[in-house]
Structure 1
Amino acid sequence: MSIVTGWCLHDLGRPGAAAQVLDRECQRIAPHALRTRTRYGMRRALAHAAAGEIEHACVIAGELLDVMTTVPSATVTVDIRRLARELTRFRASRAVKKLQPALARALNDSRVRADGSNR
């Protein structure tokens, strides 16, 4: 299976299967491919969140949010928004509460970049 298959499984409403495929396939991404690792890693976090694995999703996302400052991506920003929206269903979770400030920073930083304000 490929990483695209994993994301297709998510789109088809099979987040648990998607998370399993994305877990495996994300390990195959080269360490220096930061944009790709961040893009599919954030989708991996989203699949875990949609599968109800909230703490694991937050751990994955937390590791990736710092990379966003070095590899800005509109596609990743969309996925971060989707993850933030998914996690609002679990806002009482300690892991979600801990991740919220980092999510907000990443989304705010992406808005600043989009406006050109930090150039």
Structure 2
Amino acid sequence: MKRPFLYDPIKYLKGKGVTVRLGLPQDGKRKIEVCFEKGRYWETKKVQGIYKRVEQSYNLIMMQLDVDKGMPPRSVESLLAKGLIRIVYDDQGKRRYALTERGKKAIQANNPQNP
């Protein structure tokens, strides 16, 4: 049986020439920084599309980036294996990721300022 394709937002963005990282918490809230490849022209529509992707997958990216300094981001597969996210299907049969209760607790524990 063929394995289903898992969408990994960090790998997708890296393939587009964009890296994401956790920003320094100035106000106590950790935020995602989006870094575009230098020396490349970025059309406004593409930049807006990338920010939209980051916004749509914000909690998932935060969970992926929540690692010790110097470690690579977690993969979507590892988050699924740890039970932090799960795959759900909508009415049209499209798949998306949903945080489990365990995943929600992990986000709140690591970012208490963000309810």
Q: Does TM-score exceed 0.5, indicating one fold?
A: no
Instruction: Name the structure with the higher strand share.
Output: 2
The structure with the largest alpha-carbon Rg is 2
TM-score (norm 1): 0.27
Structure with the higher fraction of residues in helix conformation: 1
State the TM-score, normalizing by the size of structure 2: 0.27
